[in-house]
Structure formats: C-alpha cells, structure tokens
Amino acid sequence: MKPRLVLTADIGNTTTGFGLFQDEKLVWRDHLPTDARRSAAATADWLRAGLAGRSCDPAATEFGRPALASVVPAATAAVQTALAGIAGKDPILADWRSVGLDMAVEQPETVGADRLVCALAAYESYAGPLAVIDLGTATTLSVVDARGCFIGGMISPGLQTAACALHHLAAQLPLIGWTAAQLPPLELSAPPPDVPLIGTSTAACMKSGIIRGTAAMIDGLTDQIEAQMAARLNRIITGGLAGLVLPFCRSYLHHEPDLLLKGLLILSLRGVTS
C-alpha cells in the first residue's frame, strides 16, 4: 500500500529545498539556505513548523520513506537525521545506483544526484530521447536516450555564478543579480523589457550576455543534440532561475519547476511497489 505522505529534500549548493507529497501530490514546498553548520535538530524544528502550517502532525501521521538528493556532502548527514526523525524511517539517498538509470558515462559515481533524479523524473513523464536543463548555481544539461540510458551532458556556470565571476575578475564590472521577486511571470509571451538584446549600459550588457546568452546556449545545444541523435528531443527546463531565461528561448521547453522533488517521490514509492 502506498504511503499517504512522503517527505523529500534536495540539498543544493545554494539552497536546500523540501517538499511534502500527500497522495502523490505536492502540497507543500519551502527552502533554506544550504549551511553545513546547521544541526539536525535545527533542521527538524524548521521542518516541523512548516508541516504544522499544513495541519500535519508528524507524531500522528504515517509517512513513507523519505528521499534525499545532495550535492553538498558536508550538509547531508544533518538533513538525513532530521528527515528520519520526522518520518520514522531512514531516507533513501539518491545516487547512480538507487536512481537505477542505465549509465553510459565515465565514473557514474561522480554524476550529481540532482542531475540523475531530474533525469529519472523527466524520463518517467516524457520518455526519451530528452534533455533536462537545470538552472541553478550551475547550468546543467543532462541527456537520456530513447532506452532510458543516461548518456552525459554539459555543465556551465549558472547565471548568478557567471555574474559573480565577472564582478570579481573584472575590475570595472558591477555585481548584478536577481531575486525570486524579480523573475518574470512565465505567462509572458515577450522578453521582459529590462533585458534588451543590445545593452546600453554596462549592467544591461552583462544582463543580456548572461540571460540571453544562456537562452541561446540552450537552444543551440539542444538543437545540436537533436541532430546528433537523429530523433525528436523532448526538452525540459527546471531550476530556480528557469523563469528568467525561458522567455528568451526559441525552442519549446516543458517547464517543470518541481522536477527534482517529483523524482525523489518516484524513488520513495519504488520501495513500496517493488
């Protein structure tokens, strides 16, 4: 029997996201800055407060096995302990073995758990061949073929990472950045007016190069992958900064903001149905 509630967690380089699924539907999500110094007790207290806002009493609720993906080893143990304390079960830790995709890459153990979990969720929803573009601290592109085999991809600097690097390495370039409140709504059919193609100030030139440049990279690389594979490619975009780039992409991309959490749910439910 499938559990009614499943807790999931994604420890990224910048933020740690949490999700609560009820009857396989995501009903709560929130995030904290990733901090390897944060204790398991502090994380558990924060989680309990969030769950209480959903009228969810962990002590009186039957949880399924939690699932966790981490790319920050130093922060993993505390979150594992917090999830186990709330759910009463040890979390599944995502890696290339637990995700279960066939791997056609060198050193599969070095592939980020976030990339693998997103690839799994995308393949379950869209089938291959496909490319998952994840816009976070790094911009990653992960490719799965028609047989469900993870065959590799690309990694490049994320938008904020690129902006910080330019500021720190070039003496006269300002620090620019974006917050969630500044991201354009995804229903916009035209590019946001504050990112002109040809910038007329240094900051505007940087924004155009970083944001529009990332969009052009996504279009160009996925077109090249599609040509190399000689098959129509499903293109999926996710990550916290997807809304900033998506309006500038020419190709059609399926936007899946909760792709990683959905992949973690799949891992949790596998332990019930297998």
Domain boundaries, the chain: 4-93, 102-261
**Structure confidence at residue 59 (pLDDT):** 61
Alpha-carbon distance 228 to 221, whole Å? 10
How far apart are alpha carbons 44 and 12 in whole angstroms? Answer: 18
Type and span of the H or E element at 150:
strand 149-157
CATH homologous superfamily of 4-93 equals ATPase, nucleotide binding domain (3.30.420.40)
DSSP 174: P
Three-state secondary-structure class, residue 199: coil
Q: What token pair was written down for 145?
A: 């073929």
Burial class (CB in 10 A: 0-12, 13-18, 19+), 224: exposed
Class of the CATH-defined domain 102-261: alpha beta
The per-residue pLDDT for 53 is 77
Q: Which of the following is catalytic: 10, 114, 134, 258?
A: 114
- On the question of a common fold for 4-93 and 102-261, the answer reads yes
* Number of Cβ within a 10 Å radius of residue 65: 21
How far apart CA 269 and CA 264 sit, in angstroms, is 9
| CA 87 to chain centroid | 23
What is the residue type of 267?
A: L
Q: Of 64, 81, 72, 96, which is closest to residue 16 (Cα–Cα)?
A: 72
Q: What's the CA dihedral at 166, 16, 240, 26 to 10 degrees? A: 180
Residue recorded with tokens 């920050």: 72
Nearest to 161 by CA among 199, 142, 135, 185: 135
The one-digit pLDDT tens for each residue of the chain (274 residues) are 566 899 999 999 989 999 999 989 999 999 999 999 999 999 999 999 998 877 666 665 689 999 999 999 999 999 999 999 999 999 999 999 999 999 999 999 999 999 999 999 999 999 889 999 999 989 999 999 999 999 999 999 999 899 999 999 999 999 887 654 444 444 444 455 478 899 999 999 999 999 999 999 999 999 999 999 999 999 999 998 898 899 999 999 999 999 999 999 999 998 654 3
Active-site annotation holds for 35 = no
Residue 104, CA distances (Å) to 109, 127, 144 in order? 12, 17, 10
Contact 152, 108 (CB under 8 A): no
SS3 (DSSP) at 74 = helix
In Å, how far from its chain's centre is CA 118? 7
CA-to-CA dists, residue 189 to 135, 184, 238, 247, 250, angstroms: 20, 11, 18, 7, 11
The answer to whether the beta carbons of residues 265 and 22 sit under 8 Å apart is no
* pLDDT at position 62: 82
Three-state DSSP class for 259? helix
Compute CA distances 109 → 62, 94, 121, whole Å. 33, 11, 19
pTM equals 0.89
